[in-house]
Amino acid sequence: MKPLLPQLKPLSALLLLCGSLCVPAKAQPLTPQDFAELDQAIATVKTQAGLPFGSTIALVHNGELIYQHHSGYADIQRQLPVNGDTAFYIASATKPFTALAFLLLAQQGKVNLEQSLQQMWPQQQFPNIDASRITLRQLLSHQSGLDNQPLVWATAYSGIHTPQTLKALTSQSVPDAEAKRGEFRYSNVGYNIASLWLDEQNGTAWQDHLQQLILKPLGMQHSSARQSEAAQWPLALPYSLLKSAEPLYLQKTDATMHAAGGMFATAGDLARFVAAQLPGAKSPLPASVISQSQQPQITTESSYGDFQRTGYAFGWYTGPYKGEAMLHHFGGFPGYSAHLSLLPKQQMGLVILHNEDVLSRDLNNLIADYCYGLLLGDAGTKARVKAGFAKLEQKLAQLPAMKQAQQQKIQGRKTLLSLPAAAYVGRYQHPQLGEMTLSLNAQQQLVFRWGALQANATGFDTADELRLELVPNSGEVVKFAVAQGKVQHLTLSGMTFSKQH
């Protein structure tokens, strides 16, 4: 077993991190053999899937790393195996880091969580909302009542933006149609706005705050909020069972690494972060701020797989799991899945990373059930998880037929354009979101390009509408406005780009 926090000297496995606050361990410590069935089950699923994607697991108990799993490939084509140095994109599992950085800055008197959005930008106009009633605390706990899909698209997907265009997009925030201020609705918007403001305060980027306040103190040497820095380590490429065995085309760059979802990290590094969250951790991070980050700020009633969600703290969902209080946050992006969770009172934490995005929900449910079940002494764990893997294998057997049916549905739609396809070719401009270009390929199919995004259009059910898959495994509909025999503009997810004639 390996001690996690860098400044600690090796002590007893039971006393390393939590001192008198530790719960009693099992009479017989777990050994690698206890996890052999889990390792084999994961291998079997990958064999049946026909895609040897990468997986890595780190299980923390009483401040030590008691189980690690590395399997599959970071790069299937080059047959580069996943190992302890492989960094994965963790998507929205970045939020606990970003929120904690804000709390640490608040402790230092550099940030006021009760400051309003209008106070953050006194000179900025917010014509669609009352910015004086929305606080930084609400932005970080998904209760701001704001929506801003253009901001999300720019920061997470297209990568076309400058600080000035992002600030202009922030001004155009609108009330969320599904949640009022003070009600919970999960989105990237609050974190995007908060980090943009933070970047302006003293010229220090949010990425550097994470590095100095969290990653460096915890010894997370293979974690970064910049893709260009992470590229010096082995990186797991993104794959999907719904596509071919080639990596997905959409891959992260510095321009699409954002505060709501913008870190690469190894499982071992994330295990350090999880260990630092546990009560009594002898961590370089202030215990009072860690405790603050775990306090629910808003209630919610939802679930994700086996994980109930009754509240949201600062970057953490809260809720019961196996009768224990759990904190968790997951991350998903085309080709990636991340799982961070902990049972604080039981001194347990778990990290699961994959570079595949279809199996993650079921697979992570089973891995968590197995790991936490064993640690909690649940005698029925192995049999229950074995049955769960059998069901997952049944789902996999049905996947080829599902993929074929979906493709037939997409390809079966006719292209209902009112003008010849060539009339739609050209440049389309948005004042804050940049340029989208349309061209024709050899098959006379319209090809869309917008920053890091690209897609070949297929037909849709309505005239002058097309289906795009700019984000892998996610369909979007684009609508053209045609008047007087010319294309005037296109609209995608509420964003309008004017054709440049």
pLDDT of residue 176 exceeding 90: yes
Which letter, b or e, does each residue of 244-269 get, where b requires 16 or more Cβ atoms within 10 Å of its Cβ?
Answer: eeebbebebeebbbbbbbbbbbbbbb
Domain locations in the chain as residue ranges: 2-92+229-399, 102-202, 421-499
Assigned architecture for domain 2-92+229-399:
3-Layer(aba) Sandwich (3.40)
Q: Which CATH number fits domain 102-202: 1.20.58.710, 3.90.980.10, 3.30.200.20, 3.40.640.10?
A: 1.20.58.710
Cα gap 209→224, rounded to integer Å = 11
CB atoms within 10 A of CB 23: 14
pLDDT for 454-484, tens place per residue? 999 999 999 999 999 999 999 999 999 999 9
Assigned architecture for domain 421-499:
Beta Barrel (2.40)
33 burial class (0-12, 13-18, 19+ CB within 10 angstroms)? Answer: exposed
pLDDT for 111-157, tens place per residue? 999 999 999 999 999 999 999 999 999 999 999 999 999 999 999 99
User: Same CATH topology for 2-92+229-399 and 102-202?
Assistant: no
Whole-prediction pTM? 0.94
Q: Is the dihedral of CA 457, 458, 464, 468 positive or negative?
A: negative
Which letter, b or e, does each residue of 323-344 get, where b requires 16 or more Cβ atoms within 10 Å of its Cβ?
Answer: eeebbbbbbbbbbbbbbbbbbb
State how far the alpha carbon of 430 is from the alpha carbons of 80, 126, 316, 466, 498, in Å: 41, 19, 35, 19, 7
State how far the alpha carbon of 434 is from the alpha carbons of 159, 361, 480, 493, in Å: 10, 35, 18, 15
Average pLDDT over residues 211-221: 98
- Confidence band, pLDDT 50/70/90 cuts, at residue 32: confident
Rg of the chain on CA atoms, in Å: 24
pLDDT for 403-433, tens place per residue? 999 989 998 899 999 999 999 999 999 999 9
Cα gap 35→48, rounded to integer Å = 20
Cα gap 214→344, rounded to integer Å = 19
CB of 350 within 8 A of CB of 341?
A: yes
